[in-house]
Structure 1
Amino acid sequence: MNGPTAATLTVGYYTAGDLPAIEPVLIDVYAEVYATEAAADPFFSVAKFTERLHAHARQPRWGCALGEVCGIPVGYAYGFARTAEYRWNGLLTPVPAADLEETDTRTFALCEVMVQAQWRGTGIARTLHEELLSHRIEERSHLLVEEDHPKVRALYERWGYQYMGTMQPYPDSPRYNSMIRTIP
């Protein structure tokens, strides 16, 4: 990792019961990371993010890896378990039916991986991602990357994710590359 050493980065793992204590931190980091996008598109507003955060935290086995350097929050990753009832709404491209079958332990929905700008390129995002996945019981991880962010998609491909299709999970959201990988 370039920049901070492993000794200066601390990562805590939190569950839905911890959300009231960490929610202000998650929202503050989001507001900083997505300030430009929020100014241009209401989908990225802090209010809409907060709605999604609450909806996600109500899902089974919500978990969050929150990273700090010298006690200052620098980023986080969070997600939840998909249930057997989950339907892949918003999938815009054909995908084999077997890839869409869910159980209560097949897929972890990785909703957010974000790191403040001054800490990007240091390995913190990967550390947060791997710490989050180390707590999972699911077989695979699924995430979405905006179509107009090829560098981010390439990063996730280096982490083992493969393109699955195109999704638009909300009517007001951008289109995303749907990506999936096995959780070791």
Structure 2
Amino acid sequence: MSTLALRRHGAGDTADLLDALTEVWAEAHTGHDDVARAGFTPEALRRQITGHARHEGFVLVAAYAEGRIVGFGYGFICTPLYWFGEQLLPSIAPEARRTDSLAGICELAVRTGWQGQGIGSGLHRELLEALRTRWVSLLAMPGDTPARRLYDRLGYRYAGPYRTGPDGPVLDLLLLRTPF
């Protein structure tokens, strides 16, 4: 394996990185028909990153090897009401529901040929270090997928079903108490 470097980026860097991030995401999700059926597309990812980069506390971490991005993850600091929504908030554990220290991790993707080498775990660790909140949460496709197995190994616990909109897919909302 070549030398891997993790670099933090802020909101101002996203426009220059969008093409590479979209390429990584598309490769990481090749063959995942459930993702496409749920309406998650490279174009939607571009809009999502651009919108999320407007949030205060936005952090993007990219893994670089062989002169290119081989993985990335990003998130931002937010309120429980913003992240969980009014419908789900009452079912969230009280300490997470009332916290003033929460971040949402929105994406974690690694190119297919680079998966299984600890890059996802490294990106996650660097995101937690950059965000430094007591709680982090993310959404995952339901089922026994490699991503879900990673999140389970990282210590995430299922917090409930989460629908992205009235007609959107039902995702698994996962929650992690961090060491911070």
Point out where structure 1 has 5 or more consecutive residues left out of the alignment: none
1:91 paired to 2:88: yes
Question: Which one has the bigger helix percentage?
Answer: 2
- The count of residues paired between Structure 1 and Structure 2 equals 177
- Does the CA-based 8 Å contact 2:140-2:148 persist in structure 1? yes
1:112 paired to 2:107: yes
- Once the two structures are superposed, the pairs formed by residues 6-85 of structure 1 within 5 Å of their partners are 8-37=3-32, 40-41=36-37, 43-83=39-79
Shift of 1:63: 0.5
Shift of 1:152: 2.7
Map Cα deviations across residues 139-166 of structure 1 (whole Å, 9 max, x no partner). 1111111113444323212111111111
Map Cα deviations across residues 117-172 of structure 1 (whole Å, 9 max, x no partner). 11111111111111111111311111111113444323212111111111112344
Q: How many angstroms apart in 2 are the aligned matches of 1:20 and 1:87?
A: 24
- Does the CA-based 8 Å contact 2:102-2:134 persist in structure 1? yes
**SS of structure 2 residue aligned to 1:130:** helix
Match of 1:178 among 162, 165, 173: 173
Match of 1:128 among 123, 128, 141: 123
Matched residue, 1:155: 150
Shift of 1:95: 3.2
- Does the CA-based 8 Å contact 1:11-1:66 persist in structure 2? yes
Supply the RMSD in Å over aligned alpha carbons.
2.5
Q: How many angstroms apart in 2 are the aligned matches of 1:94 and 1:84?
A: 12
Match of 2:98 among 91, 98, 101: 101
- Does the CA-based 8 Å contact 2:76-2:131 persist in structure 1? no
Distance change (3 Å), C-alpha of 1:71 and 1:87: closer
Point out where structure 2 has 5 or more consecutive residues left out of the alignment: none
Map Cα deviations across residues 21-44 of structure 1 (whole Å, 9 max, x no partner). 222211221222234457943712
Q: TM-score, normalised by structure 1?
A: 0.83
Q: TM-score, normalised by structure 2?
A: 0.85
